[in-house]
Structure formats: structure tokens, C-alpha cells
Amino acid sequence: MSYVGPDFDPHQPRRGRRPRALTVAAAALVPGALLGWVVYEAVGGSGESPKQPTGASSASGALTTPTDGSTTDDSPKDPADVDPPTPTADSTSGSLKGKVVVIDPGHNPNNFQHTAEINRKVNIGTNWKECDTTGTSTNDGYTEAKFTLDVAHRMRTLLEKQGATVKFTQDGDRSWGPCVDERAEIGNKAHADAVVSIHADGAGAGQRGFHVILPGKVDEGAANTGPIVTPSRDLGERVAGSFVRVTGSAPSNYVGDGTGLVTREDLGGLNLSTVPKVFIECGNMRDSKDAALLTSGAWRQKTAQGISEGIVSFLRG
């Protein structure tokens, strides 16, 4: 996400509290592999082992930089860009037949050419916000919009192999947008069984890790999230747990108190949704270590698999 704009307001990190100070209540919110990570943190792991497996989370909450030779070059020659995706361990072909998944790749790569259009205000229920933003980028210029589309394409391949019908809110096939209200409407009109909005954050250097954003309870104007709060939390917890397990990434060290889960009531894409929906910030593009992961085709494949497996788990119930 970009620093400011619709659905992309800057996060406010908690002061004076380390993510390691986890509580039993926080741990209880997070299933599966993420719970295992939280428990490991809570019992006092410290330091980063030089012998850690590639992509594993350190006990300090930071992520390790890949050491398996994964390239950070975004060239299509990257093997992960051309090889068939690795099937998931629990995949069953056709198991999602009849299910509709909407993938919302954050931002549009052409937004920067249409600043007037994306700066116009739209109603998100609680207030008015800009239609969209350009998104953020790494210090070397790899854009969030390019990242989100790449991950979305990989997810579509994986989910369609499971029999799901997959729809995008945009595929770089329009001059700008869609606006945040239209993004929500696309999922609603598709009667989606699950919607996931893909992003990467633009926080300060040293702020690392992923987090999943859940809708809070909002009933104001055009927004009424009451019916989707509970199923969206279930979806978000499953995505977070599988993301940890597949990518080895640690939950954010700057929001979410180490749980990898954040609830917000100011995001139009969530406020206006009538179907289960979450956002995922896959890492911080402005941190050099996270950027090394985000620009790796091999790691993006793991990202796609981790998110997809969470969706599959949610849809299977």
C-alpha cells in the first residue's frame, strides 16, 4: 500500500511495546502454523540463527533473507516465473468447483498517469476518500502494482486447478482504477465466496513482516459489515496461518502485536463489501530485507501458494 490515500492511510505503530510481548488471548486468535510461531515467540526465543532454513522467521520477529540462490531480478527468466506451480500438499483437483474467488490486485500500474481520476473522492460509507492511489514501490523502483498482479496471476493458476472460478478486479487492462468502491462492488456482484485484496506496505525501514487486515463492524451510510465480520475473520486467520507455514515469514513487527492480524474500520474496500473479504500486506517494500523477498519470483510463488491455501481451507470449511 502507499503511504496515504484511500484504504492506504499510514499505520500508527504502538509505542513502547515489542511484538514479542504476546498474550494468550492474542495467540488464541491465530490458527495453525501462525499459532505455532506465536507460541515460539511467547516462550522466549531470541536471536537470529545463521543456520535458519531459508525464508524462516527469526525468533526476534524478523525475516531472514533467502540464501538458496533465489534471484531478486524480476526478469521473466526467473525459474519461478516460467515453471509450473508446485501443487499444494493437500490439493484435491476440482474440490472448489462451484466456488467463486475474487482476487483484488491492489492498485493499477497505470494509475500514475491518471492522477486527476484517482484523486476524486468516493463514498466509503463512513466518509469520503480518494478513488485510488498509485501504490508504493521498493527503493529500486519495483512497484506494488507490479507485485500484486504477479501474485494474483500465480494465485489464479493454483485456485483454478482446484476448480474455483477466479475473477480479478483489474488485470492491468484498464487505464486506471477501479476505485475502492467499485472494487468492493465487483466482489459483491460476483457473489464471491471469498475476496482477498493483495498489497505490499510502504512503512519505514526496519518495519518488517506481513499482516492481514480484517473488517471491523461498521454500520453507517452505505456500509454494513456486520454480516461479514465473522466469516472474514475466519478467512483472514486461515490466510495468515498458511502464509506463515508456506513462506516462513514472520507477522508484522509494527502492527498487530505479533499476531499478523489487524482490524480496521476505515477501508472502503472492506466497509462496502457484502461478502467475506480481507486485505493482506505481504511485506514492507521500503525495508531492504523485505524488498529482497518481494522482488524474488520464487518467494512470490510461495506467497501465492500461502494465500491460496488459506482460501482453500476457508472454502472447504
Alpha-carbon distance 214 to 236, whole Å? 7
Pick the catalytic residue from 41, 237, 281, 309: 281
**Residue 281 among the catalytic residues:** yes
Residues with catalytic annotation? 281
